[in-house]
Amino acid sequence: MKKRFLTAAILLGMLFLPAMSSADACIDCHSKISPGQVTDFQISKHAESGDVTCATCHGDKHKSADDFQLAVLPDEKVCAECHEDQFKQFTAGKHNFGWTSLNALPAAHMAPDELIEGGRGCGGCHNMGIKSEEQKKDLRGKGYRYQNNSCDECHTRHTFSKKEALNPRACQQCHMGYDHPQWEMWSSSKHGERHFAKLEGSLPEKAAAPTCQHCHMPDGNHENHTAWGFLGVRLPLPEDQQAAADRITILKALGVLNPETGDPTPVFDAVKAVKMARLDQESWEKERNKMIATCAECHSEEYAREQLAMGDAILQKSDRLMAEAIETVAGLYKDGIIKKPDGYPYNYPLLLTFMHTNGANWNEKLDDLSYIDQVLVQMYMKHRMRAYQAFFHVNPDYAYWYGWNEMTKDLGEIKELAKTMRANHAATK
């Protein structure tokens, strides 16, 4: 049966396909309706190889304008059929948690859908990671059909180019701005300056200039993790007593430790599940040593260790400022000067305000957040991030003026606000 069907298909194919193969049909019609896409495909290595057509990724069920919804919108598993290595590395990397870590936050479900599932705002950068069937159903249910593939975040469709992904600009859209300005820091550091000087011909092409990919995807490995990660907290606690106390204060304000009992909360499990922080010394050291080996391609190992140790040290010093600010605001909660907003689990400030709300209306929560709390959130999300990330990305201006300097200003403002709030509170009593 099967064999006879195949023979018939081959015969039919020989008769009709040379003139009307589905590959030609797709390209013929789409050359008229979306010519830019066809050109991008035609200049790709996929087209050059001759092994890949439109139908390889989209199937051949859709044949006309009326049935375009039958076209498969390919997820990463389709790419894995031919690129298993990159798929496996990606799966083990941090990018694979982008969508899950976003959706782990109740806030994601309270913000307008356009900013999450629609793929702008938070969802415009966090649409990374292989989606579960449940996550896909949720998307469809809200009327969103696209965002099925992460690979095209760096190898944009339909050129799917390696050269494009090797350009640091491939990372720029997401790694920039408020709380993670790696693009701004790197591009204006000596590392970035040399990269651009090479492009502009001021340095020979062979000159050494590390890019994002050089340091974070060594040997083209798609598995990306860093030692500290985004939150800049880790376990075990530092040996220094003050430093340990400061980190505990920050963990409480992140909602990871219960401010009253000091016990881990459900947020701790969420942090663990998506690897938001290294929770033992070994996993931290593994990433750190990998990075040192990369620096050592162009620097002495000693030099590199000293540079990164300075980053660790400034993080600890930033945490001293941060903890003092948190304690100042926490005192206002304790003395009833700030009322705990609805949905706050504890009578304590919460830094990642989008991380904990369980009330019905996110916007109501924002109204509830006191101004001094907003300054505190900014101190953590914007200025502390800059103070330490700038050391790792070798940017003096971000390290001092946009980082440390702004943190000291935030702390000054918080103390002044607290004084006024206490005085007003006493006067109205």
- What distance in Å separates the CA atoms of residue 61 and residue 71, rounded to the nearest whole number? 6
Using only C-alpha atoms, the chain has a radius of gyration, in whole angstroms, of: 26
Which residues in 364-423 contact ligand HEC (CB under 6 A)? 389, 392-394
Q: Which segment (4-12, 212-220, 332-340, 343-351) binds ligand HEC by CB under 6 A?
A: 212-220
Q: Which segment (9-17, 219-227, 248-256, 315-323) binds ligand HEC by CB under 6 A?
A: 219-227
Residue from 144, 183, 344, 346 binding ligand HEC (CB under 6 A):
183
- What distance in Å separates the CA atoms of residue 297 and residue 174, rounded to the nearest whole number? 27
Residue from 17, 29, 366, 375 binding ligand HEC (CB under 6 A):
29
Here's the x/- map for ligand HEC, 63-102, by CB under 6 A: it reads as: xxx--xx-x-xx-x-xx-xxx--xx--x---xx-xx--xx
Do 155 and 163 form a contact (C-beta atoms < 8 A)? no
Which residues in 100-119 contact ligand HEC (CB under 6 A)? 101-102, 105, 107-108
- What distance in Å separates the CA atoms of residue 62 and residue 33, rounded to the nearest whole number? 15
Residue from 106, 113, 121, 347 binding ligand HEC (CB under 6 A):
121
We find the least distance from the C-beta atom of residue 212 to ligand HEC, in angstroms, to be 3
296 vs 337, beta carbon nearer ligand HEC: 296
Here's the x/- map for ligand HEC, 249-288, by CB under 6 A: it reads as: -------------------------x-x-----------x
In degrees, rounded to 5, the angle at the alpha carbon of residue 135 between the alpha carbons of residues 129 and 141 is: 135
Q: Residue 358: how many CA atoms within 13 Å on its side-chain side?
A: 8
- What distance in Å separates the CA atoms of residue 360 and residue 109, rounded to the nearest whole number? 10
- Is 131 among the residues that bind ligand HEC (CB under 6 A)? no
- What distance in Å separates the CA atoms of residue 6 and residue 139, rounded to the nearest whole number? 38
The residue with tokens 């369980």 is 358
CB atoms within 10 A of CB 368: 19
Which residues in 282-341 contact ligand HEC (CB under 6 A)? 288, 291, 294-295, 297-299, 304, 307-308
- What distance in Å separates the CA atoms of residue 43 and residue 41, rounded to the nearest whole number? 6
Q: Which segment (54-62, 136-144, 358-366, 398-406) binds ligand HEC by CB under 6 A?
A: 54-62
Do 250 and 233 form a contact (C-beta atoms < 8 A)? yes
- Is 56 among the residues that bind ligand HEC (CB under 6 A)? yes
- What distance in Å separates the CA atoms of residue 276 and residue 189, rounded to the nearest whole number? 27
Residue from 216, 247, 252, 365 binding ligand HEC (CB under 6 A):
216
Do 155 and 140 form a contact (C-beta atoms < 8 A)? no
Residue from 58, 317, 415, 425 binding ligand HEC (CB under 6 A):
58
